[in-house]
Structure 1
Amino acid sequence: MTVQQQLRKDGFVIVDNLYTTEEVNNIIQQIENTDTGKTNFRKSADLFAIRQFLKEVPQVAELIFTQKVKNLLTGIMGQHYFVVKSIYFDKPGSSNWYVAYHQDLTISVDKKKELQGFINWTQKHNQFAVQPPVQILENITTIRIHLDDTDENNGALKVIPGSHLKKIYRPETIDWSVEQEVDCPVKQGGIMFMKPLTLHSSGRSTNHKKRRVIHIELSSQELPGNLLWSEKEPVLFLQDQV
């Protein structure tokens, strides 16, 4: 089964060894060299995060989107796709942070505008978020780039395979007599490809090892009604031809 076929069937797929140790270290170095005093940087005892990651650390884009990664994304999304959200997470080994089952139901946009099917508007850090029609969410593919080995002992994702095919699937309605939970360990230098509608959760860390992950969402679909993706990144560094 191809990466594209498994992603379509299960809502996720793991591909290891997409980056060498040297490539991972180069990405980490670029992050560590960045000024962390800006408003898009969140620092606490449990989490260090960078919102709008590719805008804050633009030099890392060419290190992330290698030819191997571009080839996989083209197979999944076709020739024309672009970044619509990017976040960096550094979950320290001492963190006891748990995330319950959920779907990623919101997108980041440039303004608030009343449009049919766009609901649950919020505004945070000078950015608007909204739940769009499900067809827009279905077009998005998320890549989670792992800069550390991640397993069930330090917060690897757990997912419910095939849950993305059920559209909006409220966690409180999960029928555990039917559904199956799967752990998603990913080695350093691997990527987990995932659909936003796939139900997923993240457990607490018990082995005191770090979990650094770059979360990037991509789409090939423009928004209606002059609404714009607030974090849309040009595709020039993504594809050789546009």
Structure 2
Amino acid sequence: MQIAEQIREHGFAIVEDVLLPFQVEALIDAVSTEAMPEALRGGVRNLMDVIPEVRTLAESEAMRALVAPVLGNRFAVVRAILFDKTPDANWKVPWHQDVTIAVRERIECEGYGPWSLKTDVLHVQPPAEILEQMISVRLHLDPCPASNGALKVIPGSHRSGKLSTAETEKLTMQPPVICEAPQGSALLMRPLLLHASSPSTSPHHRRVIHLDYAAVELPCGLEWRETQTLTSWANR
């Protein structure tokens, strides 16, 4: 089954060897806790502001090759986040959908809300049709077996739009798929796919660079925080 077909049907796909060993090593050096302020350890929401190498990666031909079959030839990276689980920064993530986007400024628009501020980054919940034109790419800088906090997902749950609490509880009664992923691999997933993760029981890092891509402009003068214009990759 092709990657785009897997994502359409199941909401996710794992692609191995997306990053070469030297790229993994360089990114680990760039996002190492020694290179960032203490307050940023465990996670960084505005990652492309902090680590310029991440923007270069997000806009690279390798990422285009992953994203274009899913979103088409006109899209842009709209958010980058670092997650770093360690014995000192470990957490459980309950079942949820990713339903917020990062924007430049608050402009009231029908169907958009509530609003929130996360680490000085403005976020808002858009209508489901916006989220349905997005894909997330989670790049694994460390081996990610089940013991190291691998993501758990409910296949096909992305096809039902935004889910109520009752709908989420019903869907998560079924056995999840654990997305174990080797170092250098990518997990592609739709934002509306139900997912969760357990605390890591490993003494090692679980570093993930999470990139969001969108193939849709925002209405009412709203702008994605990381980009103002979608790129036509077919012309590059």
For the criterion TM > 0.5, the same-fold answer is: yes
Matched, 1:208 2:203: yes
Q: Paired residue for 1:7? A: 7
Which ranges of 4 or more aligned residues in structure 1 deviate by more than 6 Å? 233-236
Q: Secondary structure at the match of 1:186?
A: coil
Give the superposition deviation at 1:167: 0.7
Q: Paired residue for 1:68? A: 62
1:5-154 aligned at under 5 Å gives the runs 5-32=5-32, 36-37=36-37, 42-43=40-41, 48-63=42-57, 65-154=59-148
Q: Paired residue for 1:197? A: 192
Q: Secondary structure at the match of 1:229?
A: coil
Distance (Å, rounded) in 2 between the aligned partners of 1:232 and 1:177: 35
Distance (Å, rounded) in 2 between the aligned partners of 1:16 and 1:158: 18
Give the superposition deviation at 1:21: 1.4
Q: Secondary structure at the match of 1:175?
A: helix
Aligned residues: 235
- CA gap of 1:31–1:171, structure 2 versus 1, over 3 A, is same
For structure 2, the residue ranges without an aligned partner over 5 or more in a row are none
- CA gap of 1:5–1:233, structure 2 versus 1, over 3 A, is same
Distance (Å, rounded) in 1 between the aligned partners of 2:202 and 2:74: 41
Give the superposition deviation at 1:152: 1.1
Q: Give the counterpart of 2:174 among 179, 191, 215.
A: 179
Give the superposition deviation at 1:59: 2.6
Report the more deviating stretch, 161-170 or 173-182. 173-182
**RMSD (CA atoms):** 2.5
Q: Secondary structure at the match of 2:129?
A: helix
Distance (Å, rounded) in 1 between the aligned partners of 2:200 and 2:33: 26
Task: Tell me the TM-score normalized by structure 1.
Answer: 0.87
Distance (Å, rounded) in 2 between the aligned partners of 1:76 and 1:23: 24
Give the superposition deviation at 1:219: 0.3
- CA gap of 1:54–1:96, structure 2 versus 1, over 3 A, is closer
Aligned 8 A contact 1:93 1:154 in 2: no
Aligned 8 A contact 2:154 2:171 in 1: no
Aligned 8 A contact 2:43 2:82 in 1: yes
* Cα deviation code 1:93-145 (max 9, x no counterpart): 45441110000011111222221111211234433211111100111100000
- CA gap of 1:239–1:30, structure 2 versus 1, over 3 A, is farther
Give the superposition deviation at 1:66: 4.5
- CA gap of 1:16–1:98, structure 2 versus 1, over 3 A, is same
- CA gap of 1:209–1:104, structure 2 versus 1, over 3 A, is same
* Cα deviation code 1:20-73 (max 9, x no counterpart): 2112101222334985239xx523xxxx22221112211333345553332121
Aligned 8 A contact 1:112 1:128 in 2: yes
* Cα deviation code 1:173-216 (max 9, x no counterpart): 32259733110001000000000000000111112221000001
Q: Secondary structure at the match of 2:209?
A: strand
**Aligned-partner residue type, residue 73 of structure 1:** V
- CA gap of 1:70–1:90, structure 2 versus 1, over 3 A, is same
